[in-house]
Structure 1
Amino acid sequence: MNELKSEILINAGIRAAERNFSSAYITKRGDSDAGAIFVKIDTLDGYAKLYSRNLVYDFDKNKDLIRFENLYPNKKIKREDIDLRLAKEISIDRDCWVIEIEDKNGFNPFHNLDG
C-alpha cells in the first residue's frame, strides 16, 4: 500500500479550507507519516461535526482510497461534546492529528480530497 503521508494530506486540506474562506488550524500535531486524523468542523452555532480518516479498499479501482467519515452523521453534537471525544482519542493515541475548521455551513474540505 502506498499511503499518502498524514502531514501532506493535512496541508492540502488546510489549503482547501482557506480557498473556501474558512479558518483552519492544527490543534494537535501527530506523527508526520501516520497517525489517525480527526477533523472538527465548528459551525459557529455551538455545534460541531467530527470526521475521522479511514482507508477503504475499492475493488473496482483496485486501490486504497482515503475517506473522511462523519462520526456522528445523523445528529447535531455540541462543540463541548466533540472536544470531550477528541480528548479521549488523544489519550488513546498520542500520535493522532486534530484539525479544527471554522465554517458556518459545515463544509469539510477534506471530503474533496477523498481518493
Structure 2
Amino acid sequence: MRLKSAIWVSALVRRANGVGAFTAVRRRGAEEAGAIFVKVATLDGKAALYGPALPSLDADRDTGERMFAPLLPPGTPESAAEERMAREIRFDPDLWFVEIEDRDGRHFLELTKE
C-alpha cells in the first residue's frame, strides 16, 4: 500500500531541507494519488527532471515504494525542464511538482534501474 501523495511529498521536503537543500512544492496535486514530478536545479542554469517510473520498470520490486525515472538528465538546461513540466501539467492537472535546489544535484528519490 502506498502513502498518499501529500504525505509522501511532505516527507521528501522534510528530508531534503534537513540536509541543507532548499525544497518548494510548486504545484499541489491530488492529495490521495496525484503523480509526483521532481525538478532538481543545481543553481547554475542546469537541472534534472524525474517523474513516476512505469510499473513495468519496477517489476523486480513489489514494496509499494514510489519509484522514479529520469525524464531529463542532470545538466539539462533549466528552461527545458520548465517546458516539459508545462506540458505535463496540461496533460495531468492533478500532478504534484516539487523543486529541489541543491548545488550537488541530490534528488533524494528511489530511481529505477535503467
TM-score under structure 1 length normalisation: 0.84
Q: How does 1:24-103 map to 2 (within 5 A)?
A: 24-54=23-53, 55=55, 56-58=58-60, 62-73=62-73, 76-103=75-102
* 1:34-70 deviation per Cα after TM superposition (whole angstroms, max 9, x unaligned): 12110000000100000112352436xx544421211
Say which SS state the counterpart of residue 67 (structure 2) adopts: strand
Identity %: 36
Tell me which moved more, 3-12 or 62-71.
62-71
Shift of 1:100: 0.4
- Which residues of structure 1 form unaligned runs of 5+? none
Distance 1:109 1:95 in 2: 22
TM-score under structure 2 length normalisation: 0.85
Report the aligned-residue RMSD: 1.8
- Which residues of structure 2 form unaligned runs of 5+? none
More strand by share: 1
Distance 1:53 1:6 in 2: 12
Paired AA for residue 49 in structure 2:
L
List structure 1 runs of 4+ shifted beyond 3 angstroms: 62-65
